[in-house]
Structure 1
Amino acid sequence: MRIGEVADVAGVPTQTIRFYERRGLLPEPRRGANGYREYDASVLTRLAFIRSGQAAGLTLVELASILDLRRDGAVPCAHVHSLLLAKLEDIRARQRELAALEVELEGLIDRSARLDPADCSDAEICHIIAVEA
């Protein structure tokens, strides 16, 4: 298959395929006599893996580490498991941060409803978000 066919089947732009090649996520394809890239069907599996990994929140660097392990003959399941656990903990930490921010914003919104704009001084810049004494 040529790059355009691969892109159509995989649902990605040709530039994405070239980018993945440069990053080492896809192997260099063989070249036909005309210089065109010629891909075998395995590239579709690799592209599907990359898209699934990204959907799970994995970065391209993390996906490359998984592919490197597989290329070296190792089964990457334990590595993938640890990456996913780390992602989950990151998500949970961000959720806690967002919950705290939600409370803070609700407080500021409540405060803004109680304050009179006429009472706001130049020194405070904005008394809604000014530090309370």
Structure 2
Amino acid sequence: MTGLRSGRLAEAAGVNHQTLRYYERRGLLAEPARTPGGHRLYPPEALTVLRMIKAAKRLGFTLEEIADLLDARRRRREPGLAARVAVKLTEVEARIADLETVRDTLLSALDLGCDDLAACAHAPSCPIAFNDDASCGTC
């Protein structure tokens, strides 16, 4: 039998043993063959799959989305990577816009010298929204 035992695969991929088992349970990584002694023996392509998972995670894909990407790859069904990346890019751009709003609000609070949230909440110039309806001027 040829392949990588779990320790070697985990080390090569930069993950731990528990991650391998977790990915198996989630269906991201195929259950490996076993040696006569019961040790897991992963095929060489398991390292490629782990590297793809790590890369997709860095790009913001959830494990569920990654499972779907891997399944689409295995079955060669549509939509492909480009469509999924376009959706993820839209999500990332929305998060960036939200974070820019947060940054701008925090900068305004610093510029105005907001030192106390309770005091700032009653100041008409306070940039921090203290309710869910940012358009409400009296809340």
User: What CA deviation, in whole Å up to 9, does each residue of 1:59-83 have, x standing for no partner?
Assistant: 11111112212222x156x432122
Q: TM-score normalized by structure 1? A: 0.78
Q: Which runs of 5+ in 2 are unaligned?
A: 125-137
Q: Which runs of 5+ in 1 are unaligned?
A: 118-124
Runs of 4+ in 1 over 4 A off after TM superposition: none
Aligned residues between the structures: 122
User: What CA deviation, in whole Å up to 9, does each residue of 1:88-115 have, x standing for no partner?
Assistant: 11221122222222222223223336x8
Q: TM-score normalized by structure 2? A: 0.75
Q: Is the 8 A contact 1:111 1:128 kept in 2?
A: no
DSSP-derived class of the 1:25 partner: coil
Match of 1:63 among 66, 72, 79: 66
- The residue identity in structure 1 corresponding to 2:101 is A
* Identical counterparts, % of pairs: 34
The equivalent of 2:57 in structure 1 is 54
Match of 1:128 among 97, 117, 120: 120
Q: RMSD of aligned C-alpha atoms?
A: 2.2
Match of 1:3 among 2, 6, 24: 6
